[in-house]
Amino acid sequence: MMEYEFPLSEMAMHGSDIIPLFTNNKTETTQLLAALKLDTWQVKYYADLLDDISPRFKKYFASFALGRKPNALSSYSNVEWQVADGSGEELANVLKVTAPPHDDAFELGVDKQNSKSKYDFWVNLAKRINAKGAAKEADLSANQNILLT
């Protein structure tokens, strides 16, 4: 679980975490940010900050993709990205990605947007949808068997 508020929560948008993940250098990052019609100072500020965090961010994801352990390749980050803890109403151990004034762009925190009750709602809805779908499939299968005999 990750909460991406980079560089500031006001500037973070859905999908903005793919910028540090898939750009190869500061020039690409700058061009992409400029295409978003940000002010020139925002582009420079954002690109400078992303240039700092991008290598560590990529290592977390590459490590997770290769070995299901996000910290194996991230030896130079002081934050160990742990499995989220859903034992309370809010998820804990969520990796938060934020910009200075923090000492490090990565820290563990609590997910303020998603709660256990919201999660339970969606899980229960999915279960009901799947159950109805399974019942329909069983009916179709029974009808096909009748037609075949």
pTM comes to 0.66
The model's pLDDT over 40-49, given as tens digits with 9 standing for 90+, comes to: 998 898 899 8
Residues 13 and 56 in one domain: yes
Residues 14 and 87 in one domain: yes
**End-to-end CA, the chain:** 51
DSSP code at position 1: -
Residues 120 and 91 in one domain: no
Q: Tally Cβ neighbours within 10 Å of residue 97.
A: 23
The model's pLDDT over 64-73, given as tens digits with 9 standing for 90+, comes to: 888 888 888 7
Strand blocks (E) in 1-149: 2-5, 94-98, 106-109
DSSP code at position 105: S
Residues 79 and 148 in one domain: no
Residues 13 and 38 in one domain: yes
Residues 120 and 135 in one domain: yes
Number of domains into which the chain is organized: 2
Domain that holds residue 53: 2-114
Residues 128 and 149 in one domain: yes
Q: Please determine, for residue 5, whether its predicted confidence score (pLDDT) is greater than 90.
A: no
- Quote the Cα angle for 59-29-12, to 5°: 80
Q: How much is the mean pLDDT over the chain?
A: 80
